[in-house]
Amino acid sequence: MRLGYLLDSLVRRTPLLRLPKTQRWVDRLTGADGRRWSRVVMRADCERLLKELGPKELNVLEISGRHYGSMGFARYRVVRYPEFDICATTLDESFDLIIAEQVFEHLLWPYRAGRNVYRMLAPGGHFLISTPFLVRRHEEPTDCTRWTETGLQYFLAECGFGLEMIRVRSWGNRDCVNANFRGWTDYRPRLHSLANEPEFPYHVWALARK
């Protein structure tokens, strides 16, 4: 929907439209609810994949994030950098599921991190990973790597997961990619398309089983 992309451009370029009261009016008119346009499909699919695993039975570790903490896991723990550096160390316990959302693109040593994730998984455990692809560089604190679906699949295989045990997905479209070159764009359901253009992936994600 080109109208959504054009409205985002107009709001960013017009000081009057950036006033709080005006923005609230635009949000109500377009149905904005605080979700990022780029993450709507990715998160919905990741949540679906996790529900298939039976969350109530899982001991879970989420790395540098806590988005999935409300899914009713049996046990849920969060670790953050720099207190915990997944590139350098492991925890002295095993997990049924490890989650890393929008983390691995920032790592200086992603292969080391992937191997450490593999070591911490219990036999039959799962690793859910999501990363951006067509997104501008964002140093938090570094920005290092991008993967396509094929690239992410083979990266995970190199970390120890069998190729046949990896399910990989992606989503994006050119309007979403263009809109997010200038800022993180909120999803406006009445204007923004969730249609997928496979040649313009914004996010790539995978669920791998040990």
State percent of the chain over pLDDT 70.
85
Is pLDDT of 30 > 90? no
b/e for 52-84, b at 16 or more Cβ within 10 A? ebebeebbbbbbbbeebeebebeebeeeebeee
Of 3.40.50, 3.30.160, 1.20.140, 1.10.20, the CATH number of 2-209 is: 3.40.50
Is pLDDT of 116 > 90? yes
User: How far apart (Å, rounded) are the C-alpha atoms in residues 133 and 147?
Assistant: 6
b/e for 126-145, b at 16 or more Cβ within 10 A? bbbbbbbbbbeeeeeeeeee
Given this model, what pLDDT does residue 32 score?
77
> Which among 60, 32, 29 is positioned nearest to 128, based on CA atoms?
60
The conformation of residue 168, written as its DSSP 8-state character, comes to E
Yes or no: say if 192 and 4 are a contact pair by the CB < 8 Å rule: yes
Helix ranges, 64-141 (H): 110-120
Q: Which of 105-114, 133-142, 163-172, 197-206 has the lowest mean pLDDT?
A: 133-142
pTM of the shown model: 0.89
| Region 188-210 average pLDDT | 95
| Region 57-67 average pLDDT | 96
